Amino acid sequence: MSGKRHVIVTGGSRGLGLGIVEALLAEGYRVSTCSRAPSAALERLAGADLFWKPCRIGDGEEVRAFMDAALDWGGASPLWGLVNNAGIAREGVLATFPEIDVEEVIQVNLTGAIQVARAFLRAKLVTRGPGRIVNISSIIGQRGYNGLSAYSASKAGLDGLTRALAREVGRLQVTVNSVAPGYLATEMSGTLAQRQRDQIVRRTPLGRLGEVADVVPVVRFLLGDGAGFMTGQTIVVDGGITG
């Protein structure tokens, strides 16, 4: 068991995070994940190769506690990868958007990702060896969307983190890449009005919303050995809507 690679995935209880956790377990990784609360779907994956701990990403103390626990649980398993997946969206015109919501979006989506990546890299300085960081950003960070200014800013910041960090940790043989999904049929997009969903589908060349299954293989590839010479890149998976 100790020979299995250990990957940390934030926000693994539902949606894309859950899909990533499930795929990595199926491929033989050991996976540590966190979320604010467990889910029935995640609990069904429980086993010797899965560790879960509650954590509010963006809260420095809780992030440190989760990372310490995950690294301790990983034990002799080679620390290999990090998927910064946890994220939230709050919709509203910026001029009237509550400041507390702005702060929460930035804290979870960007500050939290930086906190987790920092803890991961500090551990890699001890364990050495190659590794992978995959940040889940969004096409909203590249193109924007009405009413999602704070969310767009947080995801654009995540892509910036990817490019800068790739240069910083390349000497450690740690790659850093982003995956920017388009509009996915998940709980997060469920807050969109039907007319908005219909408009997005009409503008998408492939004529549908994305699915978790469309994005997971890209994350798996970036975590794998075949992506060892890719770093500092943002891979868009959006059905062609930004093409």
The CATH class given to the 6-185+212-234 domain equals: alpha beta
Q: How confident is the model over 10-33, as a mean pLDDT?
A: 97
The two three-digit tokens of residue 200, written as one number: 């997005």
Ranges 1-5, 92-96, 110-114, 205-209, most confident:
110-114
What 8-state DSSP symbol labels residue 11? S
Q: How far is CA 108 from CA 62, 146, 158, 170, 197, in A?
A: 12, 20, 11, 26, 25
pLDDT score of 160: 98
Q: How confident is the model over 205-223, as a mean pLDDT?
A: 96
Using the predicted structure, report yes or no on whether residue 33 has a pLDDT greater than 50: yes
The two three-digit tokens of residue 162, written as one number: 């990817």
Given pLDDT bands bounded at 50, 70 and 90, which one contains residue 147?
A: confident
Using the predicted structure, report yes or no on whether residue 92 has a pLDDT greater than 90: no
pLDDT score of 2: 61
Contact (Cβ atoms closer than 8 angstroms) between residue 185 and residue 210:
yes
Mean pLDDT for the chain overall: 94
Q: Tell me the whole-structure pTM to 2 decimals.
A: 0.94
Q: How confident is the model over 128-143, as a mean pLDDT?
A: 95
**Percent of the chain with pLDDT strictly greater than 70:** 97
The set of catalytic residues is 151
Helix, strand and coil percent figures for the chain, each rounded to 5: 50, 15, 35
Given pLDDT bands bounded at 50, 70 and 90, which one contains residue 1?
A: very low
Given pLDDT bands bounded at 50, 70 and 90, which one contains residue 226?
A: very high
Q: Annotate 90-104 with DSSP letters as a single string.
A: ----GGGS-HHHHHH
Q: How confident is the model over 161-189, as a mean pLDDT?
A: 91
**In the chain, what are the domain boundaries?**
6-185+212-234
What 8-state DSSP symbol labels residue 210? B
Using the predicted structure, report yes or no on whether residue 50 has a pLDDT greater than 70: yes
Given pLDDT bands bounded at 50, 70 and 90, which one contains residue 146?
A: confident
* Angle 79-170-120 from CA coordinates, rounded to 5°: 30
pLDDT score of 188: 56
Q: How confident is the model over 63-92, as a mean pLDDT?
A: 95
Q: Which residues of 123-137 are buried (b: 16+ CB within 10 A; e: fewer)?
A: bbeeeeeebbbbbbb
Q: How confident is the model over 170-188, as a mean pLDDT?
A: 90
**Percent of the chain with pLDDT strictly greater than 90:** 81
Using the predicted structure, report yes or no on whether residue 90 has a pLDDT greater than 90: no
Using the predicted structure, report yes or no on whether residue 191 has a pLDDT greater than 70: no
pLDDT score of 195: 85
Q: How confident is the model over 43-58, as a mean pLDDT?
A: 96
pLDDT score of 209: 92
